[in-house]
Structure formats: C-alpha cells, structure tokens
Amino acid sequence: MTPIDPSTPSAPGSNSLSEADFIELVKSVRSLRVLFNLALAILLLFLVTLNAFMLWQIRSTRIQASRLTPTVREMERVVGEYETNSVPIMQQFTVELRRFAERNPDFAPILNRYAGAVPSGRPTNAPPQAPVANPAPNK
C-alpha cells in the first residue's frame, strides 16, 4: 500500500486523482476492509460452530458406546462362562450318551435326534475379536 498524497504535484498531462476521487478511494478501501473483517468474523463464527458441533458429536458417540459397554461385558461373561463351564460338561455327557447308545441300540434313535446339537467349541463359526481400542472409557 503506497499512500497517495493528493497535494503532490503530478506531471503535466497525466491523469492525476482529484481530491474528491481520493477521498472516495479511501472510503472504498475502508469499506472493503470492514467487509473483509466482517467476512473473516463470519467465517470464524461458522468454524467455531462447526467445531462445537463436532465436539458434541464426538462426545455423544462416546456416551452411546459407554452405555453399551456394560451389556457387552455381560454378554462376554455369558459366552465365556458357556465356553469354559458348560461346553466341557455338555461334550463329556454327550460322549457318555453315545457310548450308552452303542451298548443300548434302542436309545440310539433318541440320541440321533440331537445329532450335531452339542457344540464343539465356540458357539459361532466367526469368533468376534475384541475391538483394539474401546472408545467408551475415554473422556
């Protein structure tokens, strides 16, 4: 920005600015600066609002996950208990029943109704893996 001094004599024949034009120019620059600052302020406000929304979104997501955590822990407990306590007993008892059915063929039809019913390990084919990072406890 090089300020133009209206009092400076200009070369003859050149298009010098009149004082009125200069004042008009200064007014325009001021008005543009105000507009620019206003635009900056509006943009700032918009970004602050966006940040607040994003923060709220992050918090609500974490709260939702933390609400679900006790249920997940309970389900983990039930599945773990089933795998460690129930499955071995069920398998052992089924083996005994099969042996019994070999010795007593009249029991075989009853046992055959439950063929494949007793689990051999995890209850599903696709064991879920615990998520690497549980977002719930954060914040």
Backbone phi and psi for residue 121, each to the nearest 5 degrees, phi listed first:
170, -125
Find out whether 107 and 96 touch, Cβ atoms under 8 Å. no
- The answer to whether 27 contacts other proteins (rule: CB under 8 A) is no
Least distance to other proteins, CB of residue 125, Å:
9
- The answer to whether 129 contacts other proteins (rule: CB under 8 A) is yes
Number of chain positions touching other proteins (CB under 8 A): 65
Interface segment toward other proteins; rule CB under 8 A; list 6-14, 16-24, 112-120: 112-120
Q: How far is residue 123 from each of residues 24, 34, 97, 120, measured CA to CA in Å? A: 83, 69, 21, 8
- Nearest-CA neighbor of 83 among 127, 116, 41, 24? 127
- The answer to whether 137 contacts other proteins (rule: CB under 8 A) is no
Binder among 35, 95, 108, 110 for other proteins (CB under 8 A): 110
Least distance to other proteins, CB of residue 18, Å:
22
Both ends of the chain: CA-CA distance in Å? 50
User: What's the distance, CA 55 to chain centroid?
Assistant: 11
- The answer to whether 76 contacts other proteins (rule: CB under 8 A) is yes
Binder among 75, 102, 108, 137 for other proteins (CB under 8 A): 75
